Amino acid sequence: MGHILITGADGYLGRQVAARLLRDTDDRLTLTVRTADPGRRAALADLLDDRRVDVVPADVRDADPFAAVDAAGVTTIVHAAAVTAFNVDAPTALAVNVEGTAKVAAFARRCPRLTRLLALSTLFAAGRRTGTVTETRHDDTAGFVNHYEWSKWAAERRLLTEADAAGLPLTVARLATIVAEDGTGTVGQYNAFHNTLKLFCYGLLSLMPGDPKTPLYLATAEFTARGLAHLARPDVPSGIYHLAPAPEEAAPLGELVDLAFDVFERDPGFRRRRLLRPAFCDIDGFRDLVEGTRGFGASPMRQALDSVSPFAEQMFLAKDFDSTRLRTAWPAAPATDTRRLVEATCTHLVTTRFGRRAP
Amino acid sequence: MTDVYVDNFVYALGERKLHVTESEAQGLLLSSAADLMAAGFEWHHRCEPDTTAYDLAVTTANQLVRGPLDGVDAIVYATCLPHNANVGSAEEWRRTRDVKHLMDFPASRLQADLGLDGSVVIGLNQQACTAMLGSVRVAGALLGAEPDWQRVLCLTADRFPDGARYEQSYNLISDGAAACVVSRQPAAFRVLTAHQITNGGLSDASDDETVGSYFSYVARLVRETLDRAHLAPGDVDWVVPQNTHRKTWDILSRIVGIGAERVWMPSLPDAGHVISADNVVNLASLVESGRLRRGQRVLLLMAGFGLNWQSLILEATGDAAMPASGRGSQPDHGARELAERSVT
Ligand SMILES: NC(=O)c1ccc[n+]([C@@H]2O[C@H](COP(=O)([O-])OP(=O)(O)OC[C@H]3O[C@@H](n4cnc5c(N)ncnc54)[C@H](OP(=O)(O)O)[C@@H]3O)[C@@H](O)[C@H]2O)c1
């Protein structure tokens, strides 16, 4: 029997991966969480019913966050803890995402039975590069759109260096943007994707920064958690994977915006308002809008723009994420129908008024 | 379509010129003065307590009284606020409960006060800030429909009621009036096309929604206006928009393909958003600048409270453009006395 340690276990993906590993393995699970706040434990209630599960507080900013965990028995580490906001400031991104990850690697070195260190990264660790992006380590020459991206890239670099030096069984899973729990389109966690659609749906934004042709790589939590559970297995080769739809499954931004409006327009309330589909603007135009609305205080528009602006530039930077390695290592990887996923997700968003009412 | 022309662009502003910081101190704004200044606003004009929108109208029309108004066949009198389309006394209405005090129409008064005996009047008061452009469109249609008519006076006049905030949708507001004359005879500008979009579905839009929908609707307005005139963005020499955030046209010019250097709104810091009169204030300044050349095309655009969008494309003919009396002025109490005398 193995012993799996999951960091960020009360986060969105942490919980999903933990549930899947409990289902798929006989292993013991140690869930590490930033805060032992009892209120937060509620999020883990389902998992804690299982006697194989224990919870350990571990803030990765602490000097030795995993001191309370017995390294001797740990066979697998899934590192999901991170600050995931696109507008995270540089010091926080450095402290949590980069140095925190280095502490996870240091702990991994103390685990003699370790068969897999699985780190969750993002496709955006590719930063500003365009064109085909391969499942290999990136340099930072292209630069990054925000501190989040940079920190995920820097975390990868630290891990890969550590793994080389210490022979760690490291797998880096670069994830696509998760927009729904599964094919039903139910939204489990709201992010910049949903916030942008909300701005359009409520008529607060009529400009879309980006090139309509830029492909979007979107996934479900189910696909991602299944993939992570697979990549955590000791018999699957370590290395870098794009845990994402294949390039031919991605869909262009312009088409997805149109699809979202097709769904919004099925709602009589939306139709009555005759909101137009957004005009695509260049990045300078969008920056002018963001700067121009800076004086709008805490208005809904201002808040919404704040959530969109940190990643806007990526909408101009077309990338094709090659996932040949993933599909070789995980032949059963399910296909993604991006258009159907976006349609189902938008339907859920409209039906629940963006999470404000029950479906 | 009948060829129609337009010129004699004149306007009047509220007589109290205040710096945005003064208005902030008086609690007349929602945004901070600093934020409005960052947006390009600095000064605005408010009417004195006893100056009415009608006084602004008279002051404006008086600049045209000898000459352009002779033989005017119709007056299209436009207000943004429906409230400014009645000069009756609220007090008298309350005292007498006689609805005649709710329909004391400024257009009729103007006809009498200026002695425009042969003219008929038409009121426009549901087009918000686009009403001035709307009045030119209506005037053109009237000239098309009435073969004997030669000239139509278009006039817009608004002041905010006492106690109102002087900020709408993040714009600093001035009280003001503007006028022009639409005629069958060749004049400074030929009207190439007029266009309007209405979206009643946004009638309850918040300020944020008004701003939010602004870009896509203005982009659509420009596209459709150019299509109507069979023109391309490159055929437009000048854009004369409403006074709004200084960044707006940096963004829009790239979307609609008309360079920002062709956008003319120099009155933004001095006048702010003069309700329906911005296009006239800015066009008068373009004419005065001497930069306008014969044959150049000018696109005038206005968004009205998130509900209406209107535009005109004018072509400069090179003929005399300005009335002898000059461009803008402020209401003088002579005008007001004239109005009051005529009533008593
Ligand atoms: N969800 C996606 O669409 C997506 C896409 C690409 C990549 N990813 C990657 O997937 C991983 C998980 O993302 P997620 O969506 O599950 O994010 P999430 O819901 O925000 O979860 C992040 C978790 O990390 C924890 N954490 C934050 N700061 C910490 C600290 N100082 N010490 C210990 N734990 C800390 C959080 O705890 P608190 O809440 O208590 O702070 C939370 O439990 C991240 O590495 C992210 O970059 C996610």
For residues A17 and A155, membership in a common domain is answered with yes
pLDDT at A286 over 80: yes
Rounded Cα gap, residues B127 and B255, in angstroms? 25
pLDDT above 90 as % of chain A? 84
Number of compact structural domains in chain A: 2
The predicted structure's pLDDT at residue A40: 74
Q: Provide, as residue numbers in chain B, all residues whose Cβ is less than 8 Å from the Cβ of A300.
A: 208
Per the prediction, chain A carries an average pLDDT of 94
For residues A74 and A160, membership in a common domain is answered with yes
The predicted structure's pLDDT at residue A179: 98
Name the residue in chain B with its Cα closest to that of A204: B212
Rounded Cα gap, residues A83 and A99, in angstroms? 12
Regions in chain B scoring below 50 on pLDDT: 321-327, 332-344
Which has the closest alpha carbon to B24: B211, B167, B160?
Answer: B167
Helix or strand run (H / E) with residue B225: helix B207-228
What would the DSSP string read from start to end of B239-303? EE-----TTHHHHHHHHHT--GGGB--TTHHHH-B-TT-HHHHHHHHHHHHT---TT-EEEEEEE
Name the residue in chain A with its Cα closest to that of B246: A292
What would the DSSP string read from start to end of A211-241? -TT-EE-EEEHHHHHHHHHHHTSTTS--EEE
B202, B209, B248 ranked by CB distance to A204: nearest:
B209
For residues A57 and A144, membership in a common domain is answered with yes
Rounded Cα gap, residues B122 and B126, in angstroms? 13
Residue A236 is encoded by which pair of tokens? 């699957």
Return the higher-pLDDT residue of A359 and A224. Answer: A224
Q: Provide, as residue numbers in chain A, all residues whose Cβ is less than 8 Å from the Cβ of B214.
A: 206
State the pTM of this model: 0.89
Query: Which CATH number applies to B190-316?
Result: 3.40.47.10
Cross-chain Cβ contact A296/B170 below 8 Å:
yes
Residue A220's domain spans which residues?
A: 3-179+216-249
Q: Provide, as residue numbers in chain B, all residues whose Cβ is less than 8 Å from the Cβ of A280.
A: 255
Q: What average pLDDT does the segment A27-52 reach? A: 86
The predicted structure's pLDDT at residue A166: 96
Cα A179 from chain centroid (whole Å): 9
The predicted structure's pLDDT at residue B329: 65
For residues A39 and A130, membership in a common domain is answered with yes
Which of A229, A249, A269 lies at the terminal end of a domain, its last residue? A249
pLDDT, tens digit (0-9, with 9 covering 90-100), for B91-125: 999 999 999 999 999 999 999 999 999 999 999 99
How many of the other CB atoms lie within 10 Å of CB of B167? 22
Query: Is residue A329 assigned to a domain?
Result: no
CA A124 to ligand 1 centroid distance, Å: 15
Return the higher-pLDDT residue of A172 and B339. Answer: A172
Give chain B's count of helices (H) and strands (E): 11, 14
Query: Is residue A330 assigned to a domain?
Result: no
The predicted structure's pLDDT at residue B60: 97
The CA distances from residue B165 to A19, B44, B172, in Å, are: 56, 12, 9
For residues A104 and A199, membership in a common domain is answered with no
pLDDT at A227 over 70: yes
Residues of chain B with CATH 3.40.47.10: 5-186, 190-316
For residues A119 and A197, membership in a common domain is answered with no
To test ligand 1's pocket by mutation, which of A20, A47, A84, A240 has the most ligand atoms within 8 angstroms of CB? A84
Rounded Cα gap, residues A209 and A179, in angstroms? 19
pLDDT at A237 over 90: yes
For residues A151 and A204, membership in a common domain is answered with no
Cross-chain Cβ contact A285/B251 below 8 Å:
yes
To test ligand 1's pocket by mutation, which of A6, A13, A44 has the most ligand atoms within 8 angstroms of CB? A13
For residues A273 and A238, membership in a common domain is answered with no
| CA dihedral angle for residue A140, residue A146, residue A150, residue A152, rounded to 10 degrees | -140
Query: Is residue A358 assigned to a domain?
Result: no
CATH classification number, B5-186, choose in 2.40.30.30, 3.40.50.300, 3.40.47.10, 3.40.50.2300: 3.40.47.10
A228: domain CATH number is: 3.40.50.720
For residues A173 and A233, membership in a common domain is answered with yes
Q: How far is B15 from chain A (nearest CA, A)?
A: 28
For residues A32 and A158, membership in a common domain is answered with yes
CA B156 to ligand 1 centroid distance, Å: 58
Collapsing DSSP to helix, strand or coil, A122 comes out as strand
A275, A284, A296 ranked by CB distance to B213: nearest:
A275
Cross-chain Cβ contact A288/B199 below 8 Å:
no
Q: Provide, as residue numbers in chain B, all residues whose Cβ is less than 8 Å from the Cβ of A276.
A: 213, 216-217, 220
Residues 6+ apart with CB under 8 A from A283: A209, A312, A313, A316
Q: What average pLDDT does the segment A295-302 reach? A: 73
Best of A195, A202, A207 to mutate (most B CBs within 10 Å, chain B): A207
Residue A283, classified by CB atoms within 10 Å of its CB into exposed (0-12), middle (13-18) or buried (19+), is middle
